[in-house]
Amino acid sequence: MTIARILAEKGRNVSTIQPHRTLAEVLQILAIQNIGAVVVTDAEGAVLGILSERDIVRALGRDGAGALADAASKYMTAKVVTTLESECVSTAMEKMTTRRFRHLPVVKEGKLTGLVSIGDLVKFRLAEMEQQHEALKEYIASA
C-alpha cells in the first residue's frame, strides 16, 4: 500500500504558513485547527520547512516568550524529509520512526500535495492487519 491511498482516504488538505509569519500566528493555527504541525511553503507551494509543537516548545524554552514575535523561519526545521505518493506505507513509517518525527510532507514535482502523520500511518496499518486477520479466520473456517 502506498501513501497515495492514505491521501485518497484522508484528503490532501494541509495547513501551511509563509516563512515570515510569527510563531504566535503559527500557534493560533495549531490551536484553531487542532493540529500538531504546519508546513512552511513559498508562494509556489514548495516546501521550505516544517514547524511542529515541539519546535515551538523548544523555541520558548530557549528564547522565552519573545520568540512568539519571531518569524517561523527562525525555528522551523529546514531540512525536511519528504515522501512521494508512490512510497510504501511501511517505508514511510520506518523513516518517521528512525528519525523521530511525526509529520511527513508529501511532494510531487517539488510541490506540496499532502501531509501524513504517524497516526495516519498507524491507523492504516492496523486496518490492514485487521483485514488480514479476518481473511485468515475465514480461510481457516472454510478449510
Which domain CATH number covers 96? 3.10.580.10
- Which stretches of the chain score pLDDT less than 50? none
Q: E strands along 3-55, which residues?
A: 16-17, 37-41, 47-52
Could you list the residue range(s) of the whole structural domain that residue 79 is in?
3-142
Name the β-bridge partners of 7. Answer: none
pLDDT in tens, 103-121: 999 999 989 999 999 999 9
| pLDDT given at position 16 | 96
| pLDDT given at position 125 | 84
Angstrom distance (rounded) from CA 127 to CA 66: 44
Number of domains the chain contains: 1
